[in-house]
């Protein structure tokens, strides 16, 4: 559910802006760079977007929508089990960071370039991402399946390690995305010190 319907033709501009912001940063990117990269005139750009800031907002919104969409979908498919839910969350995050590094890097670094009026909404989304992970991790701790003594730090660690993927992962490298997902899910479960409840499981043993 993107907040912007993205009427045709905007795509080239947004993509150019995204690439440019990602490569040089918002502050170092000129609106002319974007127009040129998109192959449209400066005026055309202004016809579609109110200005540089609006481009950033649109890109961040889109990135956040896409990411949270993926998370929601993953969680919807998962059951109630905290481990399963954490797996879902980590898998969704890894897939997004590895599959959309440009979108990811902008969302992760250009929040500071937002003007005050747009910052609140952005902070809210940051908070939402944190909450997602916190809820599931705290659930696991409460259920006694995540043994980590530092749930907050474990959460930050898991998020940080997933986010970092956007910076180094190359799809043409030796590790495929699904293999990566598997590894990070495993790592995340290690971080939270996941111990499946095995007590008194009569059958099968």
Partner DNA sequence: CATGAATGAGCGTTCATTCAT
Partner DNA sequence: AATGAATGAACGCTCATTCAT
Of 6 and 175, nearer to its own copies (C-beta) is 175
In the list DNA, its own copies, none, the entry touching 11 (Cβ below 5 to 8 angstroms by class) is: none
- As measured in angstroms, the least distance from the Cβ of 59 to DNA is 14
Residue found under tokens 């006694």 = 144
Q: Which candidate, 126, 109, 125, places its Cα nearest to that of 28? A: 109
In the list its own copies, DNA, none, the entry touching 150 (Cβ below 5 to 8 angstroms by class) is: its own copies
3-state helix, strand, coil in the chain (%, to 5): 70, 0, 25
Helix (H) or strand (E) holding 132: helix 116-143
In the list its own copies, DNA, none, the entry touching 68 (Cβ below 5 to 8 angstroms by class) is: none
- As measured in angstroms, the least distance from the Cβ of 1 to its own copies is 29
Of 9 and 196, nearer to DNA (C-beta) is 9
Task: Transcribe 12-66 into DSSP letters.
Answer: HHHHHHHHHHHHH-TTT--HHHHHHHHT--HHHHHHH-S-HHHHHHHHHHHHHHH
Of 45 and 145, nearer to DNA (C-beta) is 45
Q: Which residues would be at the binding site for its own copies (CB under 8 A)?
A: 23-29, 109, 112-113, 148-150, 153-154, 156-157, 159-161, 163-164, 168, 180, 183-184, 186-187, 190-191, 193
Quote the CA–CA distance of 124 and 140 in Å, as a whole number.
24
- As measured in angstroms, the least distance from the Cβ of 78 to DNA is 41
Give the number of other Cβ atoms within 10 Å of residue 10's Cβ.
17
In the list its own copies, DNA, none, the entry touching 46 (Cβ below 5 to 8 angstroms by class) is: DNA
In the list DNA, its own copies, none, the entry touching 41 (Cβ below 5 to 8 angstroms by class) is: DNA
Of 50 and 123, nearer to DNA (C-beta) is 50
160: which 2 tokens?
Answer: 């940080």
Quote the CA–CA distance of 34 and 40 in Å, as a whole number.
9
- As measured in angstroms, the least distance from the Cβ of 108 to DNA is 21
In the list DNA, its own copies, none, the entry touching 31 (Cβ below 5 to 8 angstroms by class) is: DNA
Q: Which residues would be at the binding site for DNA (CB under 7 A)?
A: 7, 9, 29-33, 40-44, 46-48, 50-53
Residue 170 DSSP class: -
Give me the phi and psi of 145, to 5 degrees please. -100, -20
């Amino acid at each position: 559910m993107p907040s912007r319907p993205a009427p045709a033709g905007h795509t080239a501009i947004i993509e150019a802006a995204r690439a440019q912001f990602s490569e040089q940063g918002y502050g170092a990117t000129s609106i002319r760079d974007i127009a040129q990269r998109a192959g449209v005139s400066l005026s055309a750009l202004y016809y579609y977007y109110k200005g540089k800031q609006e481009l950033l907002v649109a890109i961040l919104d889109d990135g956040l929508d896409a990411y949270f969409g993926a998370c929601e979908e993953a969680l919807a498919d998962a059951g109630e089990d905290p481990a399963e839910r954490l797996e879902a969350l980590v898998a969704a995050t890894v897939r997004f960071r590895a599959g959309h590094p440009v979108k990811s890097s902008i969302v992760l670094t250009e929040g500071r370039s937002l003007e005050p009026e747009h910052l609140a909404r952005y902070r809210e989304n940051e908070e939402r991402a944190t909450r997602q992970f916190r809820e599931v991790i705290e659930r696991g701790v409460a259920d006694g399946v995540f043994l980590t003594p530092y749930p907050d730090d474990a959460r930050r660690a898991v998020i940080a390690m997933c986010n970092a993927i956007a910076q180094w992962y190359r799809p043409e490298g030796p590790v495929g995305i699904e293999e990566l997902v598997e590894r990070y899910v495993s790592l995340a479960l290690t971080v939270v010190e996941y111990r499946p409840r095995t007590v008194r499981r009569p059958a099968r043993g």
